[in-house]
Every structure is written in C-alpha cells, then in structure tokens.
C-alpha cells in the first residue's frame, strides 16, 4: 500500500504561503524615525485637552502657550496593548491636568507633534519612554522589573 502524499504536499504549500505572507506583515510596521527626528529633543509643558487611548498609537493632545503662541501638540505613544501592560489606561491623562513632555519632534515643519519619551505628571510621576522605549516606570503603579 502506497502512503498518500497529499498531507505532505498540503503542509509544504501552507508553510510556503506563510513565508510569502510574513514579509508583508513585517513591512507594515514603521520606525518612529519616519515621522519624528530622533536626533533632536524638545520639551513642552501644557494642559491636556484630549487623550485618545486607541490603536495604532494612543495620542495625547496638549495645549501649549509659548513664544510661538498657543498650539496643540500631539504626543504619540506605543500601542494600547503595550501601554496597558506598562500601567497606562484610558484614565491616565484626564483633560485639564498640566503635564511636561520630552521627546523627539515631528519631521514636518510647522507642525506640533512628538514621539513622547517622558511625560511628567502633575504629582511628579514620570511615564518614561512612552513611545519609543522598552520600559515604563510609574512609581506606585507598576514595577517593570
């Protein structure tokens, strides 16, 4: 009796298809350097006007008044799953609080965007490397190590 070769052929086709599809999924993600100048750092302080805790990246809207007038900065963070694992929630940034943020500015001239690396809360807690790093340390909330 000759064993059927169909299960082996089907497995080969499925594995091959997996390798062909995988590069497209990997290429779909982007580096922050596409949108932000990681060689520069800006620091802002302002009032939170909106917090969108959604994928692909949560966005914090901060109204800043400085020598350029009054502008709304958009601060980008990691995805919701990563931020949740690090202790950030949909309630972390209520409208009306004053925060300080440090990060890489937008590459587009005349815009107010930031890849948020550190956000300092009104009570002094620091949300570190919210957008581009591997750790988030909110004392009293979580201990990443």
Q: Kindly report, residue by residue over 25-68, the tens digit of the pLDDT.
A: 444 556 676 678 888 999 999 999 999 999 988 999 999 998 88
* Residue 91 and residue 58 in contact, taking contact as beta carbons nearer than 8 Å: no
Q: Kindly report, residue by residue over 54-64, the tens digit of the pLDDT.
A: 998 899 999 99
Q: What is the pTM of this model?
A: 0.69
Q: Domain extents for the chain?
A: 32-128
Q: What would the mean pLDDT of 108-132 be, rounded to a whole number?
A: 85
Q: Which CATH class is domain 32-128?
A: mainly beta
* Residue 131 and residue 139 in contact, taking contact as beta carbons nearer than 8 Å: no
Query: Where does residue 123 fall: left (phi above 0), alpha (psi -120 to 50 degrees), or beta otherwise?
Result: alpha
Mean pLDDT (the chain, rounded): 77
Reported as type and span, the H/E element at residue 59 is strand 59-66
């Amino acid at each position: 009796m000759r064993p059927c070769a169909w299960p082996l052929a089907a497995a080969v086709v499925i594995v091959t298809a997996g390798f062909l599809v995988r590069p497209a999924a990997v290429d779909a993600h982007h580096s922050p350097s596409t949108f932000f100048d990681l060689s520069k750092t800006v620091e802002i302080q302002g009032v939170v006007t909106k917090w969108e805790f959604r994928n692909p990246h949560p966005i914090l809207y901060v109204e800043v008044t400085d020598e350029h007038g009054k502008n709304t900065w958009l601060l980008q963070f990691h995805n919701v799953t990563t931020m949740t694992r690090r202790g950030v929630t949909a309630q972390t940034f209520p409208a009306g609080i004053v925060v300080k943020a440090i990060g890489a500015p937008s590459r587009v001239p005349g815009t107010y965007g930031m890849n948020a690396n550190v956000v300092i809360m009104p009570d002094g807690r620091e949300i570190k490397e919210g957008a581009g790093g591997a750790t988030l340390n909110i004392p009293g909330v979580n201990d990443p190590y």
